[in-house]
Structure 1
Amino acid sequence: MDDRRLGSTGTRVSELCFGTWRFGRQTGGVLETDERQAHELLDAFADHGGNFIDTANVYGDPNGTSESYIGSWLAERDRSEYVLASKVYFGFDDDNPNGSGLSRTHVRNQIDGTLDRLGTDYLDIYYIHRWDEETPIEETLATLDRLVDDGKVNYLGASTMAAWQLTKALWQSDVNDYERFEVTQPLFHAGYYEDVEEYLSVAADQELAVCPYSPLAGGFLTGKYSRADPDDPKSVRAPDGSRASFDERFERFYLSERGWKVLDEVRTVADELDATPAQVALRWLMDQRGFTCVPIVGARTVGQLEENVGAAELSMSREQHDRITDARYDESGRRWGH
């Protein structure tokens, strides 16, 4: 993989970011990725030129397991060669009334635990995982600004929120001379654009990097699913053990008429390029023209990771890119429904 500049910062990152939300995660009592498998995946990512790794304090069972797996892997490597991102917001300690949110108390408590588990004295990027309705954004930004001053964090990031909330936070940073968000992490993929168009417009205008999570729509855009009923977009044939076979959110988040139309065009372009649908869907994101876009991929196996990394070698024409974009609309220009 080549590297690219992360938004308007001076930091350069690999074209893909490796997401580690499966590290230490248990689904239905089954451990998705243990420490040995996590290290194999991180080895493969690094061997392909990957340097950008994403985690959060609540990834894994118990909380913090993902960060600990990354920390034990980093212990054998040069920390300065990697760009590490983690997050804060969700409840870390259910018994602590201050164990969640973006208050000064919670943010300060969590940053030290994150750094300790990762075995480092600084984070490259610290995201707010969600917007906190109960804490004034000025309090959160002042606290994060101090973490940058203290050398514990290099850059700040914001994950899922409304466009007006992102705009308000940037404005507060400007008027108070606080460090501002430089990186964003929305849900964004080829079948899901208008839903976050205003958010992405803010990112483009403010030169913020965009690091989409779920860039393959939870696996839907890999092409491994097939439509079972032409009249029902929710009807799907899913391989045993796939996300659609056990995750009820899959139907709610990703199965739609619009999604199937986009997937059909992704498959067509993949055939034209002798590539896989996953590689085409990732390349579509990487080739966004309004902002730096670095998709976060989360593979279960080294084979899946190597397939995803293959998107970096893919060259897609403007015409092919636009066909995938336009697949969201019918012949009259109306967007296919969810």
Structure 2
Amino acid sequence: MEYVTLGNTGTTVSRLCFGTWRFAKESDGVVETDREEAHELLDAAWERGINFVDTANVYGTPHGTSEEYIGEWLEDHDREDFVLASKVYFPFDGWGDPGPNDSGLGRKHVRAQIEGTLDRLGTDYLDLYYIHRWDENTPIRETLRTLTELVREGKVHYLGASTMAAWQLTKALWTADVDGLERFEVTQPMVNAAHYDEVGDYLDVCADRDLAVCPYSPLAGGFLTGKYERAADGSVEAPDGSRGSLTERFGEYYATDTAWDVLEAVESVADEVDATPSQVSLRWLMDQDRFTCVPIVGARTVDQLDENVGAVDLSLSDEQFERIDAARNGAGGD
């Protein structure tokens, strides 16, 4: 495993982060990853050198179960060996029907949720606490002041920001600078080779301010694994049981013309380096040189995790990296 300093912080993390959004997640009444499977995956991640684990208070059915699974597993491990990240924003269903202050980034909700998260994880502090979304109804100054208090109390080490617009991230960073508050040091947008440009302005801010980027959906919902084919009419031919077979939105959202061009470039590079498209796609993200990039992988099985971890040992030449970049920019690799 390779390790890297997380942006402008003093914390070192594995080049891949293990995501746990599938832990206890129910889909059509079926739990995607149960407690035993979750603990097996955490064992495998740790054995392969992954020390960075990502969760959220609303992961699992009911909410909070993902954090509970991780907390139970940590009882048999040294907490100091791990970098734990969680999130706050959405209504938490553990309290029944949400009330008027049971969501968002106001002081009352953030204060309540950090205590629940720490309790479920069985820890006194989080290494990284993300705002899960931007809150249009709460002044960012209130949110940052509340989060700064958590840092100064030792309950949180660093702050992060998930999906939002570039101007919102800029506003938050400016407010932190002007008011002398803790700033966001890590971001978590949806970034992958096929959809990089959709958050290009956001990533420009990250590069300029030396923020680490921990992309979710680094394989474009599985599109960049190479398991999908393009039908003659332009639609997606998806294997049974895959995400693409379960929703029509998959094709509209992930399988754009640019995405197919990128996939073609990724597959050609994979053939050249004797790797899988997934590994090439993850390595392409890790090789970003404008900012520290640590992809979040959410493997369902140990075999999938092993494939993802194989990306760490992969090397891409400048020409191979640029060929994928060219496809992303519509240059078709020329």
TM-score, length-normalised on structure 1? 0.96
Match of 1:259 in 2: 259
Match of 1:245 in 2: 245
Any unmatched runs of 5+ in structure 1? 334-338
How far the C-alpha of 1:78 sits from its partner, in A, is 0.1
What is the one-letter code of the residue matched to 2:79? Answer: R
Match of 2:199 in 1: 196
Match of 2:302 in 1: 302
Match of 1:325 in 2: 325
CA distance in 2, matches of 1:331, 1:285: 19
What is the one-letter code of the residue matched to 1:192? Answer: H
Matches within 5 A, 1:29-108: 29-93=29-93, 94-108=97-111
CA distance in 1, matches of 2:75, 2:120: 11
What is the one-letter code of the residue matched to 2:176? Answer: S
CA distance in 2, matches of 1:27, 1:247: 13
Matches within 5 A, 1:208-223: 208-223=211-226
- Partner-residue secondary structure (3-state), 1:157: strand
How far the C-alpha of 1:2 sits from its partner, in A, is 1.3
Match of 1:290 in 2: 290
Matches within 5 A, 1:151-230: 151-229=154-232
Residues matched between the structures, number: 331
CA distance in 1, matches of 2:248, 2:126: 34
Q: Judge conservation of contact 2:92–2:98 (CA < 8 Å) in 1.
A: no
Change (3 A) 1:8 1:137: same
| 1:99-123 per-position Cα deviation (integer Å, ceiling 9, x unaligned) | 1100001000000000000000100
Match of 1:336 in 2: none
How far the C-alpha of 1:248 sits from its partner, in A, is 4.1
Matches within 5 A, 1:81-160: 81-93=81-93, 94-160=97-163
Large movers: runs of 4+ above 3 Å: 329-333
- Partner-residue secondary structure (3-state), 2:127: strand
How far the C-alpha of 1:247 sits from its partner, in A, is 3.4
Q: Does 1:11 align with 2:2?
A: no
CA distance in 1, matches of 2:255, 2:26: 24
Change (3 A) 1:85 1:331: closer
| 1:155-188 per-position Cα deviation (integer Å, ceiling 9, x unaligned) | 0000011111101100110111111000000010
| 1:179-231 per-position Cα deviation (integer Å, ceiling 9, x unaligned) | 100000001000112211111011011110000000000000001111112x4
CA distance in 2, matches of 1:177, 1:95: 33
Change (3 A) 1:150 1:274: same
CA distance in 2, matches of 1:267, 1:22: 27
What is the one-letter code of the residue matched to 1:139? Answer: E
- Partner-residue secondary structure (3-state), 1:124: strand
Q: Judge conservation of contact 2:91–2:98 (CA < 8 Å) in 1.
A: no
TM-score, length-normalised on structure 2? 0.97
How far the C-alpha of 1:280 sits from its partner, in A, is 0.1
Any unmatched runs of 5+ in structure 2? none
